[in-house]
Structure 1
């Protein structure tokens, strides 16, 4: 499971600490090599540059074999005032890296626990390809917060991309119970299934419906012959991607203007939008034709009535309108 990433990733933070440690080591080598005449080597001879590197390494790591030691008062003073503080800084960098890794793991576990305890009535999107991404963008365009959307995809690269976009993302096969449980599908309000294969969509629908008997499930399939199977598996609505695309192509050939209008309706945020909204207090008792929006249908309780249905009559409190209006 991945949450939205911070600005600097863990590898970048470790690289920064490693660069700082190497800088401290280089500074220590320079100090020791500059005062090499004040050091005594048990092997005899003056300190070479390699000896300075060796002494700096064992000194900063607090190993201290004792084969190279400062014997002049000046170099002992330099060790006290410069090398010792550098050793402390070096240890802080190493210990700080370890503590940061442990703290990050603890923080991540706490974040997941807090997220699980507070998450409910969210939306789970299975498959973050073109269809899943478009569904997420539409939900966000209608006011849903990104943290209320959980993405499930088997591709680790896609999961990382979803986390980079601000979504909570789960890596795994959504046909497995444990993967959907990590996405808290049991407490989800809606589930969008945008799998790449129809058979995968069927299995995911069956698994999701088993874990959540009340959530609304919207599934996408390529072939129309699989629609009844998806409905039997528990999907509330099934969108046929290939059939819809074919109808759009045919409509655009017969009437380019009609095809353009339909494409406008399907593109959220520009031109015309198809929305569902509640009937306002001032609209109760009026007919759909008397409203400012172009009403296509009215949802009354569990029934969906066309705008010209004789049973519809005047609008009632609690009705919901499916209407076309111009995007702002």
Structure 2
């Protein structure tokens, strides 16, 4: 695959409630223009109290010129207040407006610098605290659905990092309250910004299967211990992803096709499968450790419906004789009912 030139990866932290930067800058510009217009009107309404060294008269344009050079503290001296009233207005009104105008301009510059410093501090703080988090590569339909499921099972937004090559996707993740990294996930530098070496789970869900293979290889190089779940479109690419280091490979096209076929043959069975696959839709599939009171008993005695037992890295179906008695250290995969949301 030919690589194209990519912009340097960058970390994007969750949005705060101060409003978009362009709105803030636009509001400051409007306020500065309002001060300029007010000063112009004040001078023009008292034009007889001012003297222009060029022709002696002060027009509206001259008043705007005087207001501009006065507020910006340039002060060429070609237009000056000569009457006592005009000089008093300069002292009591125009001088405070000049101070306000400078505060707006200087305050905008200082706020930009302060925001950059604050962002750098927040990034350093986030880097020092994040670990055992989940990295989602690709924030398309599959990536967003994976995030919704993780959030539904109690994972905090602060423990999710989204990586996507498209800035708009990362901006959406930022609006959703998660940290994002803009960059090519096949590159080591991008995944290092996502603190992937300390991640516990990685979801690989890009748009292309070849990209998924390259991302999985890079992920395994940086973190051999993380659980890697990858999505591909075609069944023929699933073995290649497993060889690249993915623990679980989900084929989106064939899975959707099987669900369609099941729904055609049995709409009720299809509806149940859809409920199982959709977070918060009546039934959920969960994995949990065996409770002490359940050790030595049968999976059928559990309060929830156990469909499989995980023991020593092996998945035992509910009908496997080895899973007839639960042991300490086992984990069960069960179906539980989700309480309706109020």
TM-score range, shorter chain: over 0.9
| Counterpart secondary structure, 1:214 | coil
**Distance in 1 (alpha carbons) for counterparts of 2:15 and 2:40:** 38
State whether structure 2 residue 64 is matched by structure 1 residue 77: no
**Distance in 1 (alpha carbons) for counterparts of 2:270 and 2:51:** 88
Contact kept, 8 Å, 2:216 with 2:246, in 1: the verdict is: yes
Of 231, 250, 253, the match for 1:239: 250
State whether structure 2 residue 49 is matched by structure 1 residue 35: no
Q: Tell me which residue corresponds to 1:3.
A: 13
| Counterpart secondary structure, 2:230 | strand
| Counterpart secondary structure, 2:246 | coil
Give 1:312 deviation, angstroms.
2.4
Q: Tell me which residue corresponds to 2:226.
A: 215
With 15-24 and 90-99 compared, the bigger mean Cα shift is at: 15-24
Q: What's the TM-score once normalised by structure 2's chain length?
A: 0.94
Q: Tell me which residue corresponds to 1:163.
A: 174
Of 65, 70, 86, the match for 1:54: 65
State whether structure 2 residue 291 is matched by structure 1 residue 280: yes
Give a deviation string over 1:205-246, Cα, whole Å, max 9, x none. Answer: 001100111101000011111111101100001001111111
**Distance in 1 (alpha carbons) for counterparts of 2:265 and 2:207:** 30
Give a deviation string over 1:48-94, Cα, whole Å, max 9, x none. Answer: 00000000000000000000001111111111111111100100010
Give 1:318 deviation, angstroms.
2.0
Give 1:280 deviation, angstroms.
1.6
State whether structure 2 residue 272 is matched by structure 1 residue 248: no
Of 61, 67, 77, the match for 2:78: 67
**Distance in 2 (alpha carbons) for counterparts of 1:100 and 1:237:** 47
**Distance in 2 (alpha carbons) for counterparts of 1:255 and 1:17:** 62
| Counterpart secondary structure, 2:12 | coil
Q: How many residues align?
A: 328
State whether structure 2 residue 157 is matched by structure 1 residue 146: yes
Q: Tell me which residue corresponds to 1:321.
A: 332
State whether structure 2 residue 273 is matched by structure 1 residue 262: yes
State whether structure 2 residue 213 is matched by structure 1 residue 206: no
| Counterpart secondary structure, 1:205 | helix
Q: Tell me which residue corresponds to 1:112.
A: 123
Q: Tell me which residue corresponds to 2:318.
A: 307
Give 1:141 deviation, angstroms.
0.4
Give a deviation string over 1:257-309, Cα, whole Å, max 9, x none. Answer: 21111111111101111111111222122100111211010112322111221
State whether structure 2 residue 237 is matched by structure 1 residue 226: yes
**Distance in 2 (alpha carbons) for counterparts of 1:78 and 1:309:** 94
State whether structure 2 residue 99 is matched by structure 1 residue 101: no
What residue ranges of structure 2 are gaps of 5+ in the alignment?
1-10
**Distance in 2 (alpha carbons) for counterparts of 1:242 and 1:271:** 25
**Distance in 1 (alpha carbons) for counterparts of 2:138 and 2:277:** 20
**Distance in 2 (alpha carbons) for counterparts of 1:194 and 1:128:** 8
| Counterpart secondary structure, 1:311 | helix
**Distance in 1 (alpha carbons) for counterparts of 2:57 and 2:16:** 50
Give a deviation string over 1:21-41, Cα, whole Å, max 9, x none. Answer: 111111111111111101111
State whether structure 2 residue 153 is matched by structure 1 residue 175: no
- The list of structure 1 runs, each at least 4 consecutive aligned residues, that deviate by more than 4 angstroms after superposition, is none
**Distance in 2 (alpha carbons) for counterparts of 1:313 and 1:136:** 34
State whether structure 2 residue 196 is matched by structure 1 residue 194: no
**Distance in 1 (alpha carbons) for counterparts of 2:62 and 2:173:** 51
**Distance in 2 (alpha carbons) for counterparts of 1:5 and 1:293:** 40
Contact kept, 8 Å, 2:282 with 2:338, in 1: the verdict is: yes
